[in-house]
Amino acid sequence: MIKLLICDDHAVVRSGLSMLLHGRNGIEVIGEASEGDEAIELAEKLKPDVILMDLSMPHGKDGMTATTELKKLMPEIAVLILTMHDDEEYLFRAIQIGASGYILKNAPHDELISAIQSVASGDAYLYPTATKRLMGEYLDRVRNGGDTATPYDSLSDREREILSWLAKGYSNKEVAESLFISVKTVESHRSKLMDKLGLKTRPELIKFALKKGLLDFE
Amino acid sequence: MIKLLICDDHAVVRSGLSMLLHGRNGIEVIGEASEGDEAIELAEKLKPDVILMDLSMPHGKDGMTATTELKKLMPEIAVLILTMHDDEEYLFRAIQIGASGYILKNAPHDELISAIQSVASGDAYLYPTATKRLMGEYLDRVRNGGDTATPYDSLSDREREILSWLAKGYSNKEVAESLFISVKTVESHRSKLMDKLGLKTRPELIKFALKKGLLDFE
DNA sequence: CATTGCCTCAATAAATATGCTGATAACAAT
DNA sequence: ATTGTTATCAGCATATTTATTGAGGCAATG
């Protein structure tokens, strides 16, 4: 019996998944969480074999962060990312933080079941496009020594922070005041980060931030 | 028996909902569609009593458009919007195009069931916050003669166009050049539209555009 | 035909941003 | 001990933005 914990911020989705999966194909849904912290708590209590983790959870801890912490605390639990984001960035980040699988919400449900079974037995599961992307990325790295990475990764924490403020439309001055640093410093970070990312204009910056999911507000 | 048609772009969500709802509480799921056109097609063929309609469907016809057409073709079918967007704009638009109900994906599933039953029997259903908002809006209109509308509606086409360029991060000058008008004109539009929307800062503008789905690019 | 809204543009002054070059200190890595 | 990275800040010249006030042409509405 595979003990499964479901984490998704939408109650309807949780109920639906639970109904869909529980008691079939050797799967037993032992708990539901609506955000990351609850998932971690329940995982410690219930010791599931697999956690089905949504990424976007506006309230509470998001799926990426929760997965990161989970893999530190309980590396034996397999985390299967279930998301609507068909996005390279998310995919690669998920792999890097130790997720065992990545599947889209628009996958047919027998694929979801086989994904759960795969990760439960220690294997990995990626949806087909993801596999293709991973292979492409792998080939890229092999070909030119692995220094491509994502330019985003080359940013320092501070630069990422500045980036997110700027992308939201704050002026240099406003960012400076919010972070208690001088305008000059903001400008300096800005020019460096735009250099690193190869961005030349503000629209490019906003577009980039949009893809990265940096435009959250509140 | 309430004949229900489910329209959502995520197969897993569809299966889950179907599993959750079918054969209980007098509900019978007679079909599933993954986007708007399919929903319309199936609705004509299967004559459901209620359509459970997701809003965000990136591929094919979105939920708003589909609902609009459905209500023209088959006004007797009740459309219940099921979405994750807890957003005034969507809510009011949904009401205007004739949806019978609006419920969030994070609602408990017995609420979903009672929502379906409500709209199936010709009533309307809104989740509590939505009801409150609708009442507020109603009161606003009563108080000052109904001319408030949404501030966004008070924008002229040109102002909306300028807004979208600005929100994407283009500078006044760039917008001017793209639209073949003078920088002065852009500034003028900008100040007027920000006045109308009650926006004071660029972050507010971007946030607004984000909510409106104006940040598309390409 | 008077009014109103929209689109267009200008002058001006103050505030900011941009693009350089360059500097200092902390810290880690080799 | 040297090198590299990061975070911090400055000066300076030029360009751009913002806020104001004002105004002409045009089309629709009454």
Neighbouring-strand partners of residue B52: B6, B80
Q: Which of B19, B108, B169 sits opposite A206 (nearest CB)?
A: B169
* Distance of alpha carbon A35 from alpha carbon B66, whole angstroms: 32
Q: DSSP of chain B, one letter per residue?
A: -EEEEEE-S-HHHHHHHHHHHTTSTTEEEEEEESSHHHHHHHHHHH--SEEEE-S--SSSS-HHHHHHHHHHH-TTSEEEEEES---HHHHHHHHHTT-SEEEETTS-HHHHHHHHHHHHTT--EE-HHHHHHHHHHHHHHHHTTT----GGGGS-HHHHHHHHHHHTT--HHHHHHHHTS-HHHHHHHHHHHHHHHT--SHHHHHHHHHHHT-----
* Distance of alpha carbon A215 from alpha carbon A206, whole angstroms: 8
- A 125-154, residues with C-beta < 7 Å of strand D: 154
Q: What is the mean pLDDT of each run of 10 residues along chain A (218 residues)?
A: 94 90 91 92 94 85 85 88 79 76 83 86 72 50 41 78 89 90 92 86 85 67
Q: Is A12 in contact with B112 (Cβ distance < 8 A)?
A: yes
Find the residue in B nearest to A202 (Cα).
B169
Kind plus residue range of the DSSP H or E element containing A5? strand A2-7
Please tell me whether any atom of strand C lies within 7 Å of the Cβ of A183. yes
Kind plus residue range of the DSSP H or E element containing A125? strand A125-126
How far off is chain B from A107, nearest CA to CA, in Å?
6
pLDDT for residue B164: 87
> Protein B148 CA to nucleic acid D30 C1', in Å?
22
Neighbouring-strand partners of residue B2: B27
For the beta sheet containing B2-7, the strands, ordered from the edge strand earlier in sequence to the opposite edge, are B27-33, B2-7, B50-53, B78-83, B101-104, B125-126
Is pLDDT above 60 for B132? no
Query: How would residue B39 be classed by pLDDT, with cut points 50, 70 and 90?
Result: very high
pLDDT for residue A141: 42
What mean pLDDT, rounded, does chain B reach? 81
What residue has its CA nearest to the C1' of C8? B185
The pair of three-digit structure tokens given for residue B8, joined into one six-digit string? 């959502």
Q: Note the pLDDT tens digit of each residue in B75-88.
A: 889 999 998 877 76
Q: Is A169 in contact with B206 (Cβ distance < 8 A)?
A: yes
* Distance of alpha carbon B155 from alpha carbon B189, whole angstroms: 10
pLDDT for residue B154: 72
User: What count of CB pairs under 8 Å joins A to B?
Assistant: 112
Burial class (CB in 10 A: 0-12, 13-18, 19+), A94: buried
CA-closest candidate to residue B128, choices B96, B100, B101: B101
For residue A180, which nucleotide's C1' is closest to its Cα?
D8
Q: Is B202 in contact with A171 (Cβ distance < 8 A)?
A: yes
Q: Is B215 in contact with A215 (Cβ distance < 8 A)?
A: yes
- A202 three-state secondary structure: helix
Q: Note the pLDDT tens digit of each residue in B162-183.
A: 888 898 889 899 899 888 899 9
Query: What is the mean pLDDT of the segment spanning B100-115?
Result: 84
Instruction: Tell me which of A211 and B20 has the higher pLDDT.
Output: B20
* Distance of alpha carbon B131 from alpha carbon B101, whole angstroms: 10
Question: CA angle, A34 as apex, B132 and B129 as ends, to 5°?
Answer: 0
pLDDT for residue A151: 65
The pair of three-digit structure tokens given for residue A148, joined into one six-digit string? 């491509």
How far off is chain A from B74, nearest CA to CA, in Å?
27
Q: Is B203 in contact with A84 (Cβ distance < 8 A)?
A: no
pLDDT for residue B216: 64
